[in-house]
Chain A
Amino acid sequence: MTPPPGTLLAAEDLRKSYGPTVALDGAGFSIHPGEVVAVMGPSGSGKSTLLHCLAGIVPPDSGSIVYDGRELAGMSDTERSALRRSEFGFVFQFGQLVPELTCVENVALPLRLNGRPRKEAERAALAWMQRLEVDDLAAKRPGEVSGGQGQRVAVARALVTEPRVIFADEPTGALDSLNGERVMELLTEAARSANAAVVLVTHEARVAAYSDREIVVRDGRSRDMERAI
């Protein structure tokens, strides 16, 4: 597949089954730098599977995924995990923070895994925590902060490597609406100013309202609502 110029990440005709269960049945996707695309659709329709395929976490059975001009399937495992570590950021619904580390160490972790020295990594981490208004929690452990605070720490961690694509699967799912909105505001603002793309899986309309456009996944097939109208 050759996506149109300006496309950062694109997928075509993705198929994925888990045993007899068809999770993706010809789904497609595309996103530009700086764009926020909401992925909506009923429970079990294949949204998370689509996100996992796009992020190179789960290989599709067939179909094509092109990131920045390169076919994901053509990369080695090492290349794909390097891509995930340096170019992609992830925010999920529940605590992906490491409980033994402090919040600032958690945020600095992706940089440390990329080989950055500790001091430098934590300095960058603290700057992101400031932007997400959680720098005062730097020395606390995840077990000692609230759900909303923990989720902001997780967003800071997703952004610290300055990824070009942020994958967010129900990032506000466990938060009340005020906290959820603040997280969305900070996430989309940070992403837009860094010209990063955001793939945002959500079933909440008020969260999807932070996107530029939405696609709907149903029975493993996706529908691009912008092109549909």
Chain B
Amino acid sequence: MSIGHTLLGLLESGPRHGYDLKRAFDEKFGHDRPLHYGQVYSTMSRLLKHGLVEVDGIEAGGGPERKRYAITDAGVTDVERWLATPEKPEEYLQSTLYTKVVLALLTHRDAADILDVQRSEHLRSMRILTDRKRKGDLADQLVCDHALFHLEADLRWLELTAARLDKLRAEVTR
């Protein structure tokens, strides 16, 4: 999952301090794996270097966690592009996809759209496998079936998420 894009997305609703960013990330996406402060600052300095954020203010007496960051126009465009680009179907995809959906809801973008585009990307892979299966021998068929069932599992999760978007929106924007 892209921590940079996630932190950028969190900045879209307004400037935040480093510690505040970490807290928001942990609360929404960290679950069992909270961010280290070090990760936050190395990520923020990379984003600064690329002009995707700017320093908006520094609290008195402050170390790096006292810096307040704001997203730039280039940063917004970068989040936009990331959200619109489907993920390569792979294991543990759902954590990235979940992050994208939540960020889209938080920033009032079309979350259903992200899921549609992702479904399309999965179906593209599934068509290739289905075609290979049709032309292949039994061994090919079994190999392709395994991959197909995994992709299908992703999509079942995706459909369930799509059906619960309104509930999720209510929860994350609470």
Contacts and interface: CB of A to CB of B under 8 A. Distances in A.
Contacts of B151: 205
Q: Please classify the interface of chain B as helix (H, G, I), strand (E, B), loop, or mixed, using the class held by over half of its residues.
A: helix
A206 B122 CA distance: 10
B155 to A, nearest CB: 4
Interface residue tally of chain A, by bracket?
10 to 19
A214 B127 CA distance: 11
B163 interface: yes
Interface string A184-208: 0100000000000000000101101
B48 interface: no
A223 B129 contact: no
Contacts of A216: 116, 119
A38 B119 CA distance: 12
Contacts of A218: 112
B148 A209 contact: yes
Given A205-B119, A205-B152, A223-B116, 11 more contacts: A40-B119, A42-B163, A205-B126, A206-B152, A209-B123, A210-B127, A210-B130, A211-B127, A212-B127, A214-B120, A228-B117
17 contacts: A38-B123, A42-B159, A185-B134, A205-B119, A206-B126, A206-B148, A209-B129, A209-B130, A211-B123, A211-B127, A214-B119, A216-B119, A218-B112, A223-B116, A225-B117, A225-B120, A228-B117
Interface of B: 112, 116-117, 119-120, 122-123, 126-127, 129-130, 134, 148, 151-152, 155-156, 159, 162-163
